[in-house]
Amino acid sequence: MKGTNLGEFEELVLLTVAALMEEAYSVAICDELTEQTGRSVKLGVVHAVLNRLEEKGLVKSELGEATKVRGGKRKRFYQLTIPGKAALVSAKSMRDQLWDRIPSLVWKKA
Amino acid sequence: MEEPRSPQPPAWAQRFVEWYCKPGLVEDLTGDLHEYFERNVRSVGPRRAKLIYIIDAFKFFRTYTVRKPTLVNFFINWIMIGSYFKTSGRSLMRNKLFSSINIVGLAISMSVGLLLIAFVLDLRSYDRFHKQGERIYRITSVATFKGAQGGKFASTSLKTGKLIREKVSGFEEVAILRNDFTQDARVGDHVLPIKGFWAEPSLFRVFTFPMLEGNPDTALKDPYSVVLTETAARKLFGSEDALGKVIKFDTLDYQVTGVMQDVPFFSHINFEALVSLSTAEQLNRNDQNFEKWTSMFSNSVYLLLPPTADITAIQSQLDALAKEENLAEENTKIQLELLPLYDIVVGENLRSGSMSGSRGPHMPPIVLWILGGLAFVVILSACFNYTNLSIARAMRRFKEIGLRKAIGARKSQVWQQFLTEAIMISLAALLLSFFLFLVLRPQLINLAPEMQRTVKLDLTPSMVAAFIVFSVTVGVMAGLVPALFFSKVSAIQALRNVSKVKAFKHGTFRRTLVVIQYTVTLIFITTTVVGYVQYKNILAFDLGYTTENILNINMQGNKPDVLMKELSEMPEVTALSRSLIVTSVGNAWGGYMKYKDSRDSALVMTNNVDENYLPLHGYKLIAGGNFRARPTTASDAHEIIVNQQFLKRFNISASDPEKAIGEEITFSNFKMNDHKMTIVGVMKDFHYGKIENLIEPVAFTFWTPENGAIINAKIQSTDLLATMDKIESTWKKIDRVHPLKAKFYEEAIEEAYSEFSTMIKIIGFLSFLAISIASMGLFGMVVFTTETRLKEIGIRKVMGASDGSLVYLLSRGFLVLLSVSALIALPATYLLFENFVLRNFPYHTPVQIGELFAGLLAVLLIAFVMIGSQTMKAARSNPVKVLKSE
């Protein structure tokens, strides 16, 4: 494990994996990210991130059933591991804490 | 995929990803790319989709996708090779019969390859010792003579050299070398024949011939100066210092102005001494022909070009020069060309003039290609054995390969293993063939006298390296097919049931190999037999006169009278005559003759003979008679005896030769012009040249003492050795310096055709090898098939099959193969000889069917004995023992 610190994009990918549940494979993740964030996400980047997340042990992957589309190649499905979930939770709670620390005054002034 | 017409991503990009990608990631990565591609096809069209695919394929090339660096693989391979060696070694030891057949077969055939490699490397090492060799060119002359055969000559005229020096620009140096300084050197009482050239000081600037004593710039400057090689100097002066001493050639004194290192063996110019060219100029002061443009048979001109030379510019200057000179000539046109030094020994076949324009060894590349081709065929045959036997043994190795594959051997690892095995065999064969090489080397060198002068076949480091490379190549050649064959095997098939493997049923490939092998072998042996019969026919050919028991003694410049007298007193010598040359062995002498029409001149071959020559050689006169006058000078000789072709050529009453007697002919040669001669006799046609030439017009004129002489002595003796001794001691009384040069006519003819006998010996040797290799291969196959069918034979025996029927059963297949190869080989050989080889011999005898079958029988006999013995052994085996096992 290379530490649980998540980069911003890593976090997004990890969240998407969690959101897509059973359908989390690279192309779907890529589409979902594009849709949700509105930025153009490159397949290669997603791949690299998924690979890094797997190395960190935050996701695990396995090959799905053979399909006729995709040139007969199987999909690699990703799933959150327990450390993965923990990392997301801790990331969220860290943010929440930080949010909580912002006095409401600040927002009003702005 | 489900829609056959749907656009596909570029296959090469896909393969590229598969190549670099980690095996575990390949599938989903390419799958993703594919999915993306299909989507893009719909959204942006197939063209852009393909482009995006390619870009993405490259983008995926990242550290985490790329497989482990190849260095690691390489390392693993090295470790694996060790294991390959071990397993290969074991497999070789387990199959001793097959291994030894393969090793011995490869070794025998490879020894031919080694000899050829050594031979070629020797030829290619010629003239490499010259430091500026790459920049040296020889001038060759392409000459056309009016009314006679022209061609490309290695020589050129002295004038060419001088004109180049004066008029051509863009070269560094010219060296003129004049042929054949062959004289007796006299130092005090000591006499020694010396061979050398006439040369200029520039020779030392063009070529690398290091001088030991004397100044190379001046040594060959003055007339009557001579440069000796170290060995020649020692022969003449012993341990004394040669420099500055005087040598007598003929009656003139020459001063030794230099001693140089001996000429290396691999030099196309070879000599013992160099005499200054200025000497030749002095001696030939009165000869108008000496420096003529058309006197192009006795000199070589070498050019040293600067490193940045413009060859085409020099060539066009030479063309211009030749054009100008040719204007003045009537009968001869000469063109000049540049020939690189390194293309002299292995290069185009140049004609040599009567004075031998091309000197030193020479080998046309076509001969090397033919020899190489033949050697390749023999080696290929041994490789076939290997391929055949390995595949035949396949059944026994299938389990091994299946297991290897099952535990994760990749395809490449299987074929690597089989290649390693083949290379190990070929390296083992190299050791053996190297010993064969050492044994065969002297045989090859002694095959022909020219060979001894041409090659040494000594081992050099580059030769050894070439041997090893060659051996590995042969190993790859032999092992490639088995390696590919075995690597295709799937683990499941191999482990489940060997006999059901599809590839194993492909006997066609093996059968084809056997047929090819035997076809080649049969062609080899029938060629040898037919060639030998033809060669014997050539020797026994009726030349039109008799050569039996005639000893030709070359007088080597001595006057023949004394020896003639001595010989005539010997009881063994029954008849004597004199002639200028010995005919029918390739010597030629001639001049231009004219009949009444003074514009129609033709080259006529001549010989000068005395009055005893015609009866001694049994020439048949069909009209007129022998010489009557006995002139003592050539200009006094006016009688001429011609052959039938001569009459035909000049249209002199060919139908009635009697009428030709008394007709007048005008004769011109290099000594005299427009000499009038009268026909006194007409001979039946005979072969003046070698038998590959057509019968040409020939004229005999009277031999006069100013001619060089050959004494033709008819010998009638029961003890030839004693007679020869007697003649030799008589010769010694006349000439103490030169050893007797005497040869029986038939011997001389045999020597004249020695290239044929050499060729036949080589092909014969190769066919012997081809037979033994093919036989060994066949033997292995027979042993193998009978072994694998032992059970079947056992059962058949138990069921009551007779030995004879079993032998028939086992050998039938092989006999069919042999018949097929015979059916291919015999017509092939026949056509080869009738259409190509014998075309060059207008007077050959046709190929006899019997000769073809003689070779066939020999090969088939060996094959039958082998097949028969093995099948008999199998048929007689005890079925109880065979069936009990397992």
Measured CA to CA in angstroms, residue B397 lies from B414, B480, B482, B513 at distances of 12, 16, 11, 21
Chain A nearest-CA residue for B24: A63
Query: CA dist B802 to A79, B785, B807, B867, Å?
Result: 75, 19, 9, 17
What pLDDT was estimated at residue B680?
Answer: 92
Q: How confident is the model at residue B505 (pLDDT cuts 50, 70, 90)?
A: low
Please tell me the predicted confidence (pLDDT) of residue B142: 86
* Angstrom distance (rounded) from CA B608 to CA B589: 9
| Cβ contact B35–A70 (<8 Å) | yes
Residue B178's SS3 state is strand
H or E segment and range at residue B91: helix B70-94
Res. B3 pLDDT band, cuts 50 70 90 = very low
Query: In chain A, where are the structural domains located?
Result: 8-100
pLDDT at B355: 38
Task: Identify residues of A whose CB sits under 8 angstroms from chain B CBs.
Answer: 25-27, 42-44, 47-48, 51-52, 55, 63, 68-76
**pLDDT exceeding 70 applies to what percent of chain B?**
94
Confidence of residue B625 (pLDDT cuts 50, 70, 90): confident
Summarize the confidence of residues B556-560 as an average pLDDT.
Answer: 85
What's the rounded Cα separation, in Å, for the pair B517 and B505?
A: 21
For residues B440-469, average pLDDT: 85
**How far A51 CA lies from chain B's nearest CA (Å)?**
8
Q: What are phi and psi of B293, to 5 degrees?
A: -60, -35
Structure confidence by residue, pLDDT tens digits, B701-718: 999 888 888 999 999 888
pTM over 0.90: no
Kindly indicate the confidence band of residue B72, based on its pLDDT and cuts at 50, 70 and 90.
low
- Is residue B78 within 8 angstroms of chain A, CB to CB? no
A106 versus B128: the higher-pLDDT residue is: B128
Residue B825 amino acid letter: A
For the segment B383-398, the average pLDDT, to the nearest whole number, is 80
The predicted structure's pLDDT at residue B69: 57
Cα–Cα distance measured from residue B620 to residue B545, given in angstroms and rounded to the nearest whole number: 8
Q: Phi/psi at B286 (nearest 5 deg)?
A: -95, 0
Q: CA of B31 to nearest chain A CA: how many angstroms apart?
A: 5
Average pLDDT over residues A69-92: 84
Q: Work out whether strand B225-229 and strand B252-260 pair parallel, antiparallel, or are unpaired.
A: parallel
How far apart CA B685 and CA B261 sit, in angstroms, is 52
> pLDDT averaged over chain B?
84
Q: What is the predicted pLDDT for the residue at B2?
A: 43
pLDDT of residue B67 exceeding 80, the answer is: no
Residue B780: pLDDT band (50, 70, 90) is confident
pLDDT value, residue B543: 85
C-beta atoms of A27 and B36 within 8 A: yes
Average pLDDT (B405-414) is 80
Between vectors from CA B806 to CA B801 and to CA B807, what angle results, nearest 5°? 150
- B chain contacts of residue A69, beta-carbon cutoff 8 Å: 1, 34-35, 38
Task: Tell me if ipTM is over 0.90.
Answer: no
At B409 the pLDDT is 76
Q: Which residue has the tokens 């003492």?
A: B705
Nearest to A4 by CA among A81, A79, A61: A81
% of chain B with per-residue pLDDT over 90: 10
pLDDT one-digit tens code per residue, B731-750: 988 888 888 888 899 888 88
Reported as a pLDDT band with limits 50, 70 and 90, residue B1 is very low
CB B378 within 8 A of CB B769: yes
pLDDT confidence bin for B501, thresholds 50/70/90 = low
Nearest-neighbour CA in chain A from B402: distance (Å): 27
CA distance B335 to B320: 10
Closest CA to B62 of B13, B11, B20, B8: B20
Mutate to test the interface with B, among A23, A25, A27 (most CBs of B within 10 A): A27
Confidence band of A2 (pLDDT split at 50, 70, 90):
very low
Contacts of B540 (CB under 8 A, 6+ apart): none
Place B354 in a pLDDT band, splitting at 50, 70 and 90: very low
Note whether B183 and B249 are within 8 A (CB): yes
Contacts of A51 in chain B (CB under 8 A): 64-65
Distance in angstroms (rounded) separating the CA atoms of residues B30 and A73: 7
At B500, is the pLDDT very low, low, confident or very high (cuts 50, 70, 90)?
low
| pLDDT score of B434 more than 90 | yes
Residue B459 has φ and ψ, to the nearest 5°, of -70, 135
The Cα of A33 is separated from the nearest Cα of chain B by a number of Å equal to 15
Say which range, B45-59, B93-107, B246-260, B345-359, has the weakest mean pLDDT. B345-359
Q: Determine the pLDDT at residue B70.
A: 58
Question: For A50, which residue in chain B has the nearest alpha carbon?
Answer: B64
Confidence of residue B552 (pLDDT cuts 50, 70, 90): very high
User: What value does the mean pLDDT take over residues A45-56?
Assistant: 85
pLDDT for position B5: 57
**A71–B2 CB contact, under 8 Å:** no
Per CATH, which fold does A8-100 belong to?
A: Arc Repressor Mutant, subunit A (1.10.10)
